[in-house]
Structure 1
């Protein structure tokens, strides 16, 4: 298994929206880790170009992470999700609440695009055609048919889960490995149910319990901001640790200038979990935008994501951090502006 053969036991997190670049993936691989390309938000041609860049830059194995759209999610979703006209009305109300912020940046909120599947089928065809060594999934559980197709192509599969029940469902579906995500990580919580409040269980406890039920490879993720924490989760039974926030300030990362400045700015005092940027719960540096609008953002992904995209892009162009999604784990102050290979070496087992 690829996850058990890593020289370092380090996985570079797939940070969608820009931070994870082909250069970062290749560098993590050359340093003895496993880099994961972030396929989320990309079209299939864009992802194909990124895969080609990694193949050209490195001979080391790497993986691709895909978002599982609602219509392809095999997990039994609860009854709390808004549907139909209620969902459309909630998204429209939230879009209206963004108009003043958008106009201040010279843009308008985006269109909701309900039903967007993130180019799911074409991306699946792509990773099979390219024989990507490993594919990980977030936001849902692929069907057994999808997992079987990848297995027949010689591709290992990993699903992101946040509690024991989700881990059991993924194992029953036939995944090759699990990414166990704790509550302290930056970015989106990978709950298989989009409206589920994720477990607040400590990552160490989650790893310990899941390891007692399975011998498949386990990647521990979420708030692993120091080598000492990495050693703890490995001792609890993880085969590898996944780091994301620790790589944000590396020169190989595609983290924008305003984002980088915010990570080093002492004015940001804490992180918080919010739905304001995408409609899914995610952790980032707490901003005034989050405080003002958090209670108004519906649990409606990907519609909320599409509605806020113009604001975030305009904010990045203006090098203003106030409306950016500044995804970061609770240990973000440990991130440093050093080469990615240095970070991988520090977190190696």
Structure 2
């Protein structure tokens, strides 16, 4: 895999949806000898196309991540109850939140059509496993297909569906879990153990992800059998990061002392810095994705713009204190220093 993508170090700049991953970060990853992944989640098809054009213009290997449909419908009454609670927080920003649930597939079919019409080197999926037909069509187009999994059982399902490679994500990862069963509690298995368990289950190459923020942690997962390590949180403060200034500042703010897995912001389990919104609403928040995401997204954007981190989804993995400011090339080179 490394040779195929021109990689001289076994690192992947993980796709972080919602802004942090930029075409500039993908390009910087390539300059470091790593692989960069664009994030298609939450974007319009036109926005995805524009980012693809920017990266393609550089003539470099790269990948892109899509949210595969795995609906988590919200109970309408639970949604309305929670919406009334969150509306009180949104009032300070002068916002009116959606009164009824919004459900969609993140334009999945249109994005697949785009990637079949103009193929890219690698496509990865998270949240759900696409149909065998979609996977086979991408592979026929010359695309390497990667599936995010969080357990050996999920790895077996992905293998049966015909993917080429796995991203094995531990619960320590920042942002959304790729779990296929979001109603079940995440299992806190260390990434090294999870890599070994998955490698013993299926004969597919593995990208390891989750809490990998130091050179020692990266070296350990490679020794455990991973083909590459995917890193995200450690790049949030990079020069090329599109994360909001509010998010970046929170990563070094001594007021935030831990990360927790929460559904309060999006209705799907995700790891972020524990803040006032999570403390106030975690027990009240229903499961339901993307409805809860759409409920809170306007408030989160307004809070980020206003510099109010306690109302922002401060996604971060357990290694967030290792996120440093500076060029992504330098950060990735440091992470590869013990290999």
User: What TM-score, normalized to structure 1?
Assistant: 0.93
Counterparts in 2 of 1:62-211, with a 5 A limit?
62-70=62-70, 87-110=75-98, 112-211=100-199
Give how far 1:7 is off.
Answer: 1.2
Give how far 1:203 is off.
Answer: 1.1
Out of 235, 246, 266, the residue aligned to residue 234 of structure 2 is 246
For the structure 1 residues 3 and 100, does the alpha-carbon distance in structure 2 shift closer, same or farther, using more than 3 Å as the test? farther
CA distance in 2, matches of 1:66, 1:112: 26
Contact 2:169 2:209 in 1 (8 A): yes
Contact 1:110 1:309 in 2 (8 A): no
Contact 2:73 2:289 in 1 (8 A): no
Give how far 1:101 is off.
Answer: 0.4
Number of aligned residue pairs: give it. Answer: 336
Give how far 1:89 is off.
Answer: 1.1
Q: Deviations over 1:11-30 (max 9, x none)?
A: 01111110001111111122
Contact 1:4 1:217 in 2 (8 A): no
Residue equivalent to 1:10: 11
Residue equivalent to 1:37: 38
- 3-state SS of paired residue (1:284): strand
Counterparts in 2 of 1:251-262, with a 5 A limit?
251-262=239-250
1:227 aligns with 2:215: yes
User: What TM-score, normalized to structure 2?
Assistant: 0.96
CA distance in 2, matches of 1:124, 1:111: 31
Contact 2:102 2:294 in 1 (8 A): no
Q: Deviations over 1:155-206 (max 9, x none)?
A: 0111111011001100111110000001111101110123222222111111
1:319 aligns with 2:307: yes
Contact 2:149 2:178 in 1 (8 A): yes
CA distance in 2, matches of 1:149, 1:283: 33
Report the more deviating stretch, 286-295 or 209-218.
209-218
- 3-state SS of paired residue (2:156): helix
Report the more deviating stretch, 24-33 or 44-53.
24-33
Contact 2:69 2:130 in 1 (8 A): no
CA distance in 1, matches of 2:100, 2:33: 41
Instruction: Could you tell me which runs of 5 or more consecutive residues in structure 2 were left unpaired when the two chains were aligned.
Output: none
